[in-house]
Every structure is written in C-alpha cells, then in structure tokens.
C-alpha cells in the first residue's frame, strides 16, 4: 500500500467535515496575514528611530498599539484554526474506530481466529490514535505552511526581487534533505507499529491468563519474554526516532545558510541605499518565516511517519473482505420441524490439512444427537459449520429442508440456543447478561430460566441479587457459576434447537445431575446436539456419533456401541476402567 494511497484513504474519511477545512483555511489566512504584518510594523518602528535624540515616539507608540492588536488577533485566529483541525481529526478518528469495530463484527470468524487479539485491539486503539495525531499535524502544517510561504513570498518580492530569488532558490534544498530522510526512516516506523501490536497481544494474553501464569510459576519467564519484545521495540524505535530526528537539524542547517545569504545581500543593498535598515530587518524576519514551514514539517516528520505506518495497519483491517453477505431474498423454512442434514460435507481450516471429508448425516426432528471423539477429531467444527461460523468447502447443510447458505444468518442462529465450554459474560448486571439471550424477557421469565438452570439460589446470595454487577469476564464469579448463567441465558432464549458444547464441564457432579434434568426438560421436542468428553452424560442420547479424524467411524445408541466393542467402547472403558 503506497503512502499516497494511504493519505487519500484517510482524507476520504475526513471529506464529510469539509466545512471545517474551509474554516481552518480562512482562519489560517487571517492568522498568517497578521503574523506577516507584524514585521512590517516593526520595520516602520525601526525607521522612526532616526538617530541619537531624533526618535519619533508618537509614531512608535501608535505602531506598538497596532503590534499588540495584531499579536492578539494571531492568538485568537490560531486558536480557532486549531479548534477546526482538532474537530476534523477527532471526528475522523471516531469514524475510523466505529468502522473498524463494525469490521470486527462482519469479517469471517476465521480472520479473528487467525490474528492475535491484542494486535487487533492495538490497531483499533493505538494505531487509530496515531492516525488522528498525524492528521492534526498534517492539516495544521499544510494550511499554515502554504499560506505562510505564499504570503512571505509576496512580501519579500514587494521589498526586493533579487534577495527574494536567493531565498527561493536555496530553500528547496531542505525539502530534498527531508524527503531523503523520510524514505530512510519509513521502514523503521512500520516495524515499530508492528512490534507495538505484538507487545499488546502478548500483554493481553498474559494479563488475561494470570492464573495459569502463576500456577505454573511462569512469572520470571514471562518477564524474560516481555523484555525480549521490549528490547526489540526499543532497538527499532531508537533507530526510527534517530532517522526521523536527523531531518529537523539538517533542514535548519540549510535554512541557516538562507538566513546568512539574506543578511549579506541585504546589508550590501542597505549600504548602497537600496533599502532601509527597517526594511532589512523586515526581510530577515520574512526569510525566517518562509523557512519556518519547512522546519515544522521536518520537526513533525517522526509523527507523520508513525501516522502513515499506523494508517496502513488500520486500512489492512478495514479492507479485509467481510463474510459472504446474506442473499437479498433469503429463503424461509416452510416448516420449523428441527430437521438437520449434512450432505457430503468437506471442510478444512487450512488448504494443506483436510479435516472433514464426505461427511453425511440426517437428524430427525426432536432427536438428541451426541458427538464424541478424541480432541481435534472435528466435534466442535461440526457446530461451527452448523451455525455458519465457517462455511463448508463442498457439500451442503440443510436446516428444516433449506440450505443454510440460503438462510439469513441471524434467522439461522436464532433457531439455536448455544452453551459453550468457554463461558463468556460481559461487564454488567446478572440480569443484563441473562437478557443477552432474549432482550424482551420479563423478570418472571428471567427468574424461571435461572431456576431451571439451578442458578437462582447462588444469584440470590450475591450482594444485589439479579442487579449484582459482574466484573469484566465474570472474574467475581466461579467458573461453575459463570457456566450456570450461560445455561440460563440459553434457556431464556427458548430456541427451537439446542447446541451444548461441553456445557457442564465446569460444574460439580451434583449440580451437573440437576442441570442434566433441566436440559432433559428443555430438550423435550427439540433437536439437540451435545458435544461431550464425559461419556456418562450422553448415555440417554437417541444417537451417538463417534468421530475420529473428521469422519464418523461409528454411530448408534450407547448400548449398541458398547456391544460393537469398537472405538466408542474403547473411549468409554478408558474413562470407567477402574469402576
């Protein structure tokens, strides 16, 4: 992605705020005009100091009043210009952040699964902020710089054309220096932003799993690994900052040459009577003003390079293809019977490693299907395909006789109530977390669902009952309590079909027995898929699918599979051999 392309994309986001651009430009013109008028007043004041005992104090006092008014005007209009540029920047950043968050919710789940979450967060927070900071600097320098250069040129030419040509010819050298250094440092700043994302990802990972870190006494090694990341960032950052920092002194050196040339030529002109001493003073000030924008641009070159590198990372996410959109006229199932059929399904997460091959299965309405097998055999993958978190490579999946690809995703997913092994709760009250499954549920329905899930008793023991605030990720609840809330949430949604993926893995045996009874009640008449490692929980299933390496190797009831004395019997006996 080229720099010019990145800048165009950022400016496209700023386009809706064009009125702020216009106002900022107007305020910049007024501010710079007053700034350039001040040297003229100073020159006039100097020319009123004719010699010893010959000073026109009356004129000087009047000129001083004008200077004070001009300085006050510069301050007011400079503030107004900064207010407009800040508005452009903050509104653009707001839109970028909003769109990148939307993108996280529309990209395929495969994209989220294949990227470190800390890095994605860093792009949304740190990189977008860097873009905003760079945008402020770019607009400020652009407006004030262009107006300052144009204004000083006009004033200098009006005073002396020859000296003005000297300034115009020598000054562009600073641009060549800045461009060379910018190209040199660009790669370093890109590396710096990537490493910042890696550090964010590592910290997010370690902070979120501190219990595991402490349980395995991994603290020292965690610090060592962090120091490795930090040292790499320090090295790359130092090189980037060093390369960026070369620009400002280099251009200032060139501008010093310009100032010296103006001083020499101006002095010779003043001696020969070509201009007054006040005029020379004014010209020297304009020479400084003319070179000032070049100095300021190179002074913030580091920030601009960081912003460009950050913007590139932001647009990499924004330009990531979204998941295949729903059809304009999605199909509607004529009957909500709860039939599910897999027809010759092929699927793999990576092209080089196949997982599910030629998988077929027909589930009748109201059947309870258990899916068992060793880790990595494809149990959860089946659920991902059924919910369209991932799409099949070949074949088709039918729900109520309709291909899931022809259904609206939200309609498809609303058919299922889902409880996962990883219980997810957000920061909010217990009631709000339960209503995540049905936002229109009444208090009576919420309490009834909690009672069915055997969660009501522990909820009432919390400080404020259903209004108790759960901290981020439910850290003030036990793992079992969190899972009970997730079960209650699924029950509250009152789905036509159920998916239970290791739903009782974190619950004690006594509570599990109670919850199984609750599941048995809620599963009555509903097609249900139960992924389980604990085989004792799926004995009563209508059909048990035994999977291995992505294929169904056995299927039948619990007794039928034991009688076969095959792979299922081997799994079952490995859990209950001692008994």
pLDDT in tens, 442-471: 989 999 988 888 889 889 998 888 998 887
Judge whether 135 lies within some domain: yes
Q: Which residues pair with 497 in a beta bridge?
A: 416, 527
Number of domains observed in the structure of the chain: 2
Could you tell me where the DSSP H helices lie in 367-526? 379-386, 409-414, 430-434, 443-452, 456-460, 479-492, 509-522
Kindly state the DSSP code that residue 362 receives in the 8-state scheme. Answer: E
What local confidence, expressed as pLDDT, does residue 75 receive? 92
Q: Are 360 and 334 in contact (CB under 8 A)?
A: no
Q: Do 223 and 361 fall within a single domain?
A: no
Q: Is 357 helix (H, G, I), strand (E, B) or coil?
A: strand
CATH code at position 468: 3.40.50.300
Judge whether 444 lies within some domain: yes
User: How far is Cα 513 from Cα 518, in angstroms, rounded to an integer?
Assistant: 9
Q: Do 173 and 306 fall within a single domain?
A: yes
Q: Do 180 and 314 fall within a single domain?
A: yes
What local confidence, expressed as pLDDT, does residue 578 receive? 45
Q: Is 360 helix (H, G, I), strand (E, B) or coil?
A: strand
Q: Do 132 and 230 fall within a single domain?
A: yes
Domain housing 517: 340-576
Q: Do 354 and 302 fall within a single domain?
A: no
**Longest alpha-carbon distance in the chain:** 123
Closest CA to 290 of 137, 139, 146, 78: 146
Judge whether 540 lies within some domain: yes
The last residue of a domain, from among 273, 288, 318: 318
Give how far the C-alpha of residue 4 lies from the chain's centroid of Cα atoms, to the nearest Å: 22
Q: Both tokens of residue 355?
A: 């997982």
Q: Do 186 and 123 fall within a single domain?
A: yes
The last residue of a domain, from among 286, 318, 350: 318
What local confidence, expressed as pLDDT, does residue 50 receive? 64
The last residue of a domain, from among 318, 353, 374: 318
Q: Both tokens of residue 421?
A: 């092994």
Q: Do 300 and 398 fall within a single domain?
A: no
Q: Do 423 and 523 fall within a single domain?
A: yes
> Other CB atoms closer than 10 Å to residue 371's CB: what's the count?
25
Q: Do 402 and 259 fall within a single domain?
A: no
Q: Do 386 and 295 fall within a single domain?
A: no
Judge whether 331 lies within some domain: no
Judge whether 87 lies within some domain: yes
Judge whether 487 lies within some domain: yes
Q: Do 313 and 353 fall within a single domain?
A: no
What local confidence, expressed as pLDDT, does residue 299 receive? 60
Closest CA to 322 of 397, 403, 409: 409
Could you tell me where the DSSP H helices lie in 107-127? 109-113, 117-122
What local confidence, expressed as pLDDT, does residue 95 receive? 92
> Could you report the average pLDDT of every consecutive run of 10 residues in the chain (579 residues)?
76 89 88 84 77 73 89 92 90 91 86 82 87 83 76 78 76 70 70 80 75 72 84 83 72 74 76 73 76 68 76 88 75 72 85 78 86 78 85 88 85 83 81 85 89 87 89 73 84 84 72 72 81 77 82 84 86 66
CATH code at position 207: 1.20.1560.10
Q: Do 30 and 168 fall within a single domain?
A: yes
């Amino acid at each position: 992605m080229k720099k010019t392309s990145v800048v165009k994309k950022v400016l496209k986001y700023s386009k809706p705020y064009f009125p702020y651009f216009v106002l900022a430009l107007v305020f910049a013109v007024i501010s710079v005009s007053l700034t350039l008028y001040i040297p003229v007043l100073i020159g006039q004041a100097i020319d009123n100091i004719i010699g010893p005992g010959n000073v026109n104090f009356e004129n000087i006092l009047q000129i001083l009043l004008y200077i004070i008014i001009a300085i006050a005007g510069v301050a007011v209009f400079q503030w107004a210009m900064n207010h407009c540029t800040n508005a452009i920047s903050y509104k653009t950043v707001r839109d970028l952040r909003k769109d990148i968050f939307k993108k996280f919710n529309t990209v395929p789940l495969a994209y989220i699964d294949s990227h470190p979450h800390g890095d994605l967060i860093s792009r949304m927070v740190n990189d977008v902020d860097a873009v905003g900071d760079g945008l402020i600097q770019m607009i400020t320098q652009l407006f004030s710089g262009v107006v300052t250069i144009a204004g000083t040129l006009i004033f200098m030419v009006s005073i002396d054309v020859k000296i003005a040509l000297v300034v115009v010819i020598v000054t562009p050298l600073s641009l060549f220096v800045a461009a060379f250094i910018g190209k040199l440092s660009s790669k370093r700043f890109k590396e710096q932003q990537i490493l910042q994302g890696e550090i964010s990802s590592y910290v997010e990972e370690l902070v979120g799993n501190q219990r595991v870190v402490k349980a395995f006494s991994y603290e020292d090694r965690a610090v060592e690994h962090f120091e490795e990341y930090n040292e790499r960032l320090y090295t790359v950052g130092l090189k980037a900052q060093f390369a960026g920092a070369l620009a400002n002194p280099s251009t200032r050196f060139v501008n010093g040459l310009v100032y010296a040339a103006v001083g020499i030529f101006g002095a010779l002109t003043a001696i020969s009577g070509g201009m007054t001493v006040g005029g020379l003073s004014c010209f020297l000030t304009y020479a400084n003003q003319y070179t000032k924008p070049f100095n300021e641009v190179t002074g913030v070159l580091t920030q601009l390079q960081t912003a460009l590198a950050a913007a590139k990372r932001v647009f990499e996410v924004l330009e990531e293809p979204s998941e295949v959109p729903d059809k304009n006229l999605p199909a509607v199932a004529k009957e909500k019977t709860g039939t599910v059929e897999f027809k010759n399904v092929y699927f793999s997460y990576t092209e080089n490693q196949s997982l599910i091959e030629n998988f077929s299965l027909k589930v009748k309405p109201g059947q309870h299907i258990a899916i068992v097998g060793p880790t990595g055999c494809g149990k959860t993958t089946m659920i991902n395909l059924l919910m369209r978190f991932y799409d099949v490579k070949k074949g088709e999946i039918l729900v109520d006789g309709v291909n899931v690809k022809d259904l609206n995703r939200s309609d498809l997913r609303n058919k299922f109530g889902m409880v996962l092994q990883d219980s997810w709760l957000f920061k909010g009250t217990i009631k709000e977390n339960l209503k995540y499954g049905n936002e229109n549920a009444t208090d009576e329905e919420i309490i009834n669902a909690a009672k069915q899930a055997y969660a009501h008793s522990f909820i009432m023991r919390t400080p404020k009952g259903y209004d108790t605030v759960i901290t981020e990720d439910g850290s003030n609840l036990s793992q079992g309590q969190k899972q009970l809330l997730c079960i209650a949430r699924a029950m509250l949604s009152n789905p036509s079909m159920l998916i239970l993926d290791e739903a009782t893995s974190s619950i004690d045996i006594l509570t599990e027995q109670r919850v199984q009874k609750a599941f048995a009640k809620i599963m009555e008449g509903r097609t249900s898929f139960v992924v389980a490692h604990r085989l004792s929980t799926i004995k009563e299933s209508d059909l048990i699918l035994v999977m291995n390496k992505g294929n169904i190797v056995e299927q039948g009831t619990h007794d039928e599979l034991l009688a076969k004395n095959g792979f299922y019997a081997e799994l079952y006996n490995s859990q209950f051999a001692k008994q």
